[in-house]
Amino acid sequence: MIKLIKKFTNYLKLFSIFFIISILFVQLVDVNTLQAEEYRLVKGTLIIDSGKNPKDIEVLLSRAILGEGVIDKFTAVANQKGEFEFQEIVYTNNSIYTLVVMYNGLIHMKTLDLSEVNQIQTTLRIPQTTSDDSILTIPLISILILGNNDRKTELKFLEIIKIKNDSNYTYVPGSKPMERLRFSLPKKYQKLNVDSSLIDAQVIKVDSGFALNAYLHPGEHDIMYGYTLNYENQTIDLKKNFWYNTTKIRILVPENLSINLNNNVYITETAEIGQKKYQVLTLEDFKKASSLEINLSGLPTPSIYENLENKFNQINFQYIPVSILIVLMFIIFFASYTRKKLMDSK
């Protein structure tokens, strides 16, 4: 019995030692974790180009992680000199830090790099505004002809435009459609889909294309849109008008299609996208109000069966029950009318 008690006491001592060691280990891990966590001090100055006092303007600092969205939000208020400060901002190398200021209805943003030093000094400038679109130019337009569905006489297009505000002003569109950002489209286009890097951009359909109700801060911005065109007799003609001075145009056409342009091609090369080969045509220097005419030929034509299938698929079946009901009512009415006439004749 005494031996059992001694063994139990020894086991209890060992258990106590292991328990204490485990607690110390957990504490050491926590200390190391705390020591490993990094913090940043962000100091900044808000500058309003119009000369107005920046005092009491709220500045937001957001921390976001790709795939997870915004994780943290911090706010500070600028003093009379425009100075603001954010203390103890948690830093992780997979986070994106952005300064945001709302001023006179426009959002101004700046991405920060917090990886280099513990204290960051930055400046956020708020430009004056203008509705003069002469400050806008297009360095590059890429037109990708994606090819067609062999079972349809339909061609898909994707256009990527890099538009530049080469000034110290923020471009703000006017109230009329012609005073907004405008982009031309071919006649009878279908299935328009527009995307851009612009803040709060709204798409408005206008004659010969679409417009964007959006403002452009100084710098470069991207606009991308896709659409489809139907064709006949294995050929298609389209015309592209330019609302802004354009430096360069790149047209990517599948190798199995023939293309004719009303302008001289500067460079011709080939490229491969998704295991499909394209001929790449480069054209330069298009002035505002100029145009480019494109002719594509050698387009495939669906078989008679595929044409019938396409037309059958275009039928709007939701109206068929109504149509049948109308026909039945007419037959019943006509039969009743005929029967009545026969009865009267007797």
Average pLDDT of each block of 10 consecutive residues along the chain (346 residues)? Answer: 49 45 44 63 96 96 93 96 96 95 95 92 97 95 82 87 97 85 93 93 90 95 95 89 95 91 85 88 93 90 51 48 56 59 58
239-275 burial: b if 16+ Cβ within 10 Å, else e: ebbbbbbbebbbbbbbeebebeeebeeeeeeeeeeee
For residue 324, is it within any domain? no
Task: List for the chain the helix, strand, coil content (%; round to 5).
Answer: 25, 50, 30
Same domain, 51 and 70: yes
Q: Is the pTM above the cut of 0.75?
A: no
User: What six digits make up the tokens of 322?
Assistant: 């109504």
How high is the pLDDT of residue 319? 47
**273 & 153 share domain:** yes
Q: Is residue 330 part of a domain?
A: no
Domain identity same for 141 and 212: yes
76 and 1 belong to one structural domain: no
Q: Does the residue 213 lie in any domain? A: yes
At which of 97, 125, 153 does a domain end?
125
Instruction: Identify the DSSP state of 234.
Output: T
Number of structural domains in the chain: 3
Measured CA distances, 270 to 26, 96, 277, 296 (Å): 61, 37, 7, 17
Q: Are residues 67 and 48 in the same domain?
A: yes
Closest of 88, 83, 139 to residue 114, by C-alpha: 88
Residue 210 lies in a domain: yes
Considering the domain architecture, whether residues 76 and 9 belong to the same structural domain is answered as no
Q: How far apart are CA 151 and CA 157, in angstroms?
A: 17
CATH code of the domain covering residue 231: 2.60.40.3680
For residues 160 and 163, give the distance between their C-alpha atoms in angstroms, rounded to a whole number. 10
What is the β-pairing status of strands 209-213 and 202-206? Answer: antiparallel
Do residues 22 and 67 share a domain? no
Q: Is residue 319 part of a domain?
A: no
Q: Are residues 26 and 143 in the same domain?
A: no
- Asked, for residue 283, whether it belongs to a domain, the answer is yes
Which pLDDT value is given to residue 326? 57
Place of tokens 């109700």: 213
Any domain includes 257: yes
- Out of 268, 297, 326, pick the residue that ends a domain: 297
Residues 181 and 291 both lie in one domain: yes
Closest to 75 in 3D by CA, of 106, 55, 101: 101
End-to-end, the C-alpha distance of the chain in Å comes to 127
Contact 223, 198 (CB under 8 A): yes
What is the residue range of 157's domain? 133-297
Q: Are 158 and 108 part of one and the same domain?
A: no
195 shares a domain with 99: no
What CATH number does residue 60 fall under?
2.60.40.10
Question: Could you tell me if residue 197 is inside a domain?
Answer: yes
Same domain, 153 and 217: yes
